[in-house]
Structure formats: structure tokens, C-alpha cells
Structure 1
């Protein structure tokens, strides 16, 4: 299940590329003494929750799927997972903080789903990475929070599962600049609050267009954040997410730091054929003419997991056997080691995060790794830049 069309389409490209690139290896699996032919069916979520639910139904009833793979979309991904849970079809997903994955489905941490499994990071992991980058600029700080009025912003503000527990424990204060509706038409209220709280660092989960508008209006008001940490869309090169030149120009000047969950410098290999992260990124750029994207490594890992489960389940033709194998799976992938038995909550395997920053380069923005606390095997490739 991939967003082939609609606003999430740029994030569907890595998954469709991986499926094509690995096609020769996916024609069959060996499970014990038996060989099973494999068919890969691709359905378009159209970047819409309703369309995604219908597409899941088609995968199960028309394509007779045994396992569903999906990624991308704060509304679409939970819709896919819920449809799979209802239809009793095993599902593996990624690119979504695990707290959001649980809460978006009306559950709480500790709840065990029967058919649906996810690998990613937590909001607490993002907060920890961001705080360590703030701390490279003296500190502790009062940090302005530019969060929307939707599900994303609500969860980031959550007193237990949001940013505050992690950042306050490290001595930082969070100043909520006030919710806003996406797409934003202006940020005058948030800029006044930024001035009132004397915040010189801003953290956000804004779209590229909204963050560029905020930065532009802040500069016009005589304010210039020393650093902006931003998750969500700013984990991707803004030059590939929007075609608006003014957005590119504004964000290139904004010192945007973000989370890094995969890069060509990560020291992992594919469990299928030993392909390295650098190999995968280079092949993607060679074959598509586009820069690598972080979801590329996770898309590859999705396929590795499906291959592993079909190769090791007691009966790869039975949904229950596949789900049971997923619940107990451990696998070293090109995205890093995954272990569903360790939690932090049922159905979740954790990925490690490091901190990165978009640095201007001759071929567009380049994502440098600027902090690797807790992941020393992932090399730092640049220094944090700030005003």
C-alpha cells in the first residue's frame, strides 16, 4: 500500500522503487523444505484515508494478500492499519512515531493489536534528539513550540507522551506559541508570543510552506531564531517536497535541524543480499536522478521483514501464523536491528534516532548528522550551524 498519487506521493516513490529493485529476489520464498511463489500487488492509497481503506479491502479480497506493507501519512497509515485489523490481515508499517500510531487508532500504550505491527521511534526519542541539539547552543533554553491545532500538535502537547517530560527533565522550558490551522495564512500571534517569551530556539512539526512563512514573518518582525528543530516534512529535502522557489530560499537560510532515522552513512546491511546503506542510496540516485530520501531505508526494511516472516512462519499461507511470527520477530535490516519482543509497547519495534541538519550544498540541501548520542556506530558528518 503506497501513496502513488496525492500530496504524499513523494513519499511513495521510495517504496515503489524498492519493490522494483528487489523484484528478482521476491519471486519466491523458501520455508523449510518448501518453495512458495510470491506475487507482489501494489495499491494506491491516493493519500486519502477513505481510499486507503478501500484499497486494503481490494488487496485482501481481490489480490488475496497474506501480508500488507505500508508507510507514510498521519491519517492514511492508521486507516490502513485499522482496516487490516478489521479484516484480520497481518500488516507491517513504518515512518510514524509509535505513540501517534497507537493514539490515532483510539488505543493507549500497552494495548496489544492482533494483526498489525509497526517499527519506528517515539516522540520521546525525537524530543531527546532535539534537546541535545539545543544544548550545543549554550543552555538550558526556553524553546518556542510552533505546533498546529490538529492531531500532530495535540499529541506533541500531551503532558505524558509529548515533548515536555523529556525536555523539562533536561532543564529546558517549552513556551507554546499557540495552535494554528494548516495551511497557515499568518503567524503574527505566534511571533508576538515568541517575543514575549524571549525564545531564540523554535521547535516544530510544520509543513515546509508553513515553516517558511513563519520564518519570513519572524525576520520581518526583527526576530531570527538561532536554530529551528523540525520533524515531519522537514525530515525530507524541502527542494523535493515543494516546487516553490521562495520556500527553498527561506528555509535554506533558517538553520533547520531534524531527526535522522536512516542515511547512507548508517552502518547497516540488507538481510536479503548484504546491500549497504550507501549502496542503496547510490543506486536510488543513479536510477531515479533524485536525491535519496530517509524513507528509502525503511521501505527496504519493510520488504526484508515480509521476506523473513514468510520464510520462517510455521505456515506462510495462514494469516495467524504470519501474525504470530511478526509478534516474535527479530531481524537485522538495512534500517538497523528490529525486535518486536522488546517493546516499548506491544506491536512496536524501535528504531534509533540521531540528529541531523540541512546544510546548503551545490546540488541542494545536504543532510549532515550532527549528533549521535546513544548511536555511536552512526558517524557524525558535520557540525551544528546556528546564528
Structure 2
């Protein structure tokens, strides 16, 4: 692969140079002559219904820019660094398209990608095809790994990947976390399932290996009205099905606009379960604040928080300090993807530093596979126990706890950790409460 740099409009490239501000600069030939440039492509859903996942991107990239000061010290000496950011527009086809542009047109050495299987999967698949190392996060490992297999339903046929690596938690972790929250309350164990027709929904709602059979083993019964399209405007069918089943719990994995529509209509139609624990939709303060008072005591998995006891390998910052830095820089509350966006660059930079030749795809992929790093989101290391070996070769699990949104006197919301059985090192902030 050529190591030359192609120039393009400055709004599309971020060069990490030796200046103090996050400026998008055209690198001069004189600067280029000082050393080779390693290029990292970054794909996230910066617009569209998944845009909340990318809220911290600018903050994280600026921080990485300031930390690196223009270069990375590798096994072969210092190299300049360039980060090229691409917006997936919350569209899987667009995600694949921009990944190919990064590989073919921009000639990147590495791609990092985050935020739901709709973004991570098409980018990872493109990288695997083209033989370009890729690090991904912020999607459960099952839809990321299993949905990319030639025969997803037959684990005996699954194969590891050569160039794509992923760190996050799995459905087994969210199931245990949700049940840990629900078991704190008296319910009839009737659960309504909201599963859209996308990679996440099909994995979570799978009747053989998804939430329904796992919850059944815990004594819960799931009513699944069937798949719906993202950005639906009418959830009456689902609400009626849940009412008929006398569901006191609702769970699922939905995008933020769909939860707003569902929960608003549920309240209007007199359906008020004791518990609503949904993934994806209420990870962000802005999504809960949009609901107003009816957002109180909605619950979700918590991948990362200001109280997580981890530190950055790049800055030494604690999770709390990183969260405070985001709020100071933006004036907005911290949001869970901050940690994982930061963690992506921790893993990427550590891998580049250790690679025998970071410009060689195989060498860089080998370095990623060998990572053994404490990060702001926990320890990242592939090949660990707790997963099938074929999966563990490409997947490193990170901690998961459960939280509940509590409305404050000023109308804002606080995320309180209420379930930490699997990770007692992450402190509790309270107990699970029923929706009133």
C-alpha cells in the first residue's frame, strides 16, 4: 500500500500537528519530509438517528490531538499522525461506502469505528475484505461477530477474523444485568420485547440464542409482537400486545426516537409497566430529558460512567476526570460513549506503537491481537477465557452494570448505578425503583 498522502478539502481531514488548537491543517511538504504519516480512519454516526453516539467525537479527537503533539513513537522511530473522520449518517450502506473510501482513496493504515452494529459491522466487513486492520466498539459482540459469519446459526462453522477486532460486552452480560435489576422488585415476570428489524433487534430477539430463551431460564416470559422498522410512528400494536400479556416489564434494543414515540404513546394509552429497561435508546441524558417527567426511573445497561474506577493509558485521567473534562469543554453532561471513543484511540495508539511495522497490515493486525492494556473502559486483551476460543481471538469483553435515570429538582436527570453484581469494583449509587 502506498504511504503517500492525498490532499482533500480541509473540512474532511484532521491532521495532528505540533500546534495547540484543533485546527484542520493542510500539511506542507516540509512537514511531510520530516517523517512518514500513519493514517487512521474514524467512522461514526455523526448525523441521523444514531447521532447521540457520536456526541463526544470532537472532544475526544481534540484530546488525542493534544496528547500526541503530532507524532507517535513506533518501533521504527516517530511517525506523523493523521485522523480522517467520516460520518456514516446512521446508514449501514453509507458506513460501508466511507470505509471503502478510507481504504482505497485515503490509503489509511487503520480504521477505528464505533456505535451499534449498523456502523461497526459494515465497516468491519469492508476492512476484512480489503485486508486493513480495524478496531471497533460500542456494539454487543454477538451481532458484531455472529452476524458476520457465513452460517450464523451453526457455531461449529464460525471462523475468527484476520484483521478486525472488537472490545465491548455481550448479550449474556446485559441479560444478567437486566435480571439483576428486575429481581430487586416484585413483578409477575411478564416481559414485553421491543425488537426492531435490524442487526441489534434480530440478535437480541432471536428465539434460539437471544433474550427470550435466556430470560425464560430465569423464570421470565417474553411477549414478542414481531419486528418493526426503525423510525416507526405507531407502536399501538406492541402496546396492545403487552397489555394483553399483562407485561409489567418492557425490554428491547431501540434507537432513541423510537423509544420516545413508544413511551409517549404507552403513557397516552394507559400502559404503565413497573420497569422499562431498554438498550441503546436511553444511554444519553439528552434522550431522557426529551421525555420529561415520564423518563423518571427508566433503566438501561451502563457501559461507562464517571464513577467507573478506570484510568486512561494515554492521559492518566480517571473516568471522573474525563467526564468532567467533557462537561467543561462542551457545557453538556457526560455521556457513555465518551469512554469508548477515548478507548478506541487508546487501543489504536498502543497497537501502532508496538507494531514491528505499523505500515504493514499484517504486522499491525498482529499487534492489535496481542494487546494487553488497561484503558479508561477497563482491561482490553484478546484470547481471554469466558468466550468460545474462535470468538475470543477477536473479542475482548468490557464490564457492564445497570443504571436508572432519576429526575432532579431542576428537571435534569442523573444516571444512578443500581446493579453491579458482576463488577462490584464499580460502586453502586442506589437501589432499583419501580416506575410510578
Could you state the TM-score of these two structures normalised by the residue count of structure 1? 0.91
Please state if 1:352 is matched with 2:352.
Answer: no
Structure 1: runs of 5+ lacking an equivalent: none
Q: Which residue of 1 aligns with 2:381?
A: 339
Q: Which residue of 1 aligns with 2:111?
A: 68
Kindly state the Cα deviation for residue 170 of structure 1 after the two structures are TM-superposed: 2.0
Q: Which residue of 1 aligns with 2:424?
A: 376
Deviations along 1:320-349, one digit per CA (max 9) or x if unpaired, are: 011112122221100101111116213111
Check the 8 A contact 1:133/1:355 in 2, yes or no: yes
Check the 8 A contact 2:196/2:230 in 1, yes or no: yes
Structure showing greater radius of gyration is 2
Q: Which residue of 2 aligns with 1:364?
A: 412
Q: For the structure 1 residues 13 and 149, does the alpha-carbon distance in structure 2 shift closer, same or farther, using more than 3 Å as the test?
A: closer
Matching residue within 47, 54, 60 for 1:12: 54
Kindly state the Cα deviation for residue 46 of structure 1 after the two structures are TM-superposed: 3.0
Q: For the structure 1 residues 65 and 208, does the alpha-carbon distance in structure 2 shift closer, same or farther, using more than 3 Å as the test?
A: closer
Check the 8 A contact 2:118/2:199 in 1, yes or no: no
Report SS of the residue matched to 2:84.
coil
Structure 2: runs of 5+ lacking an equivalent: 1-42
Question: How many positions carry a matched residue from both structures?
Answer: 381
Deviations along 1:69-128, one digit per CA (max 9) or x if unpaired, are: 111243222111111112111000101011111233244454211111111111121111
Report SS of the residue matched to 2:396.
strand
Q: Spell out structure 1 runs of 4+ moving beyond 4 A.
A: none
Report SS of the residue matched to 1:129.
helix
Q: Which residue of 1 aligns with 2:134?
A: 91
After TM superposition, the structure 1 stretch with the greater mean CA deviation from structure 2, 218-227 or 16-25, is 218-227
Please state if 1:292 is matched with 2:339.
Answer: no
Check the 8 A contact 2:149/2:159 in 1, yes or no: no
Check the 8 A contact 2:197/2:229 in 1, yes or no: yes
- The residue correspondences of 1:1-387 to structure 2 (distance < 5 A) are 1-26=43-68, 27-32=70-75, 34-107=77-150, 108=152, 110-139=158-187, 141-237=189-285, 239=286, 241=287, 247-249=290-292, 251-253=294-296, 255-342=297-384, 344=387, 345=391, 346-361=393-408, 362=410, 364-386=412-434, 387=436
Could you state the TM-score of these two structures normalised by the residue count of structure 2? 0.81
Report SS of the residue matched to 1:128.
helix
After TM superposition, the structure 1 stretch with the greater mean CA deviation from structure 2, 296-305 or 78-87, is 78-87
Check the 8 A contact 2:185/2:432 in 1, yes or no: no
Report SS of the residue matched to 1:114.
coil
**Aligned-pair RMSD on alpha carbons?**
2.2
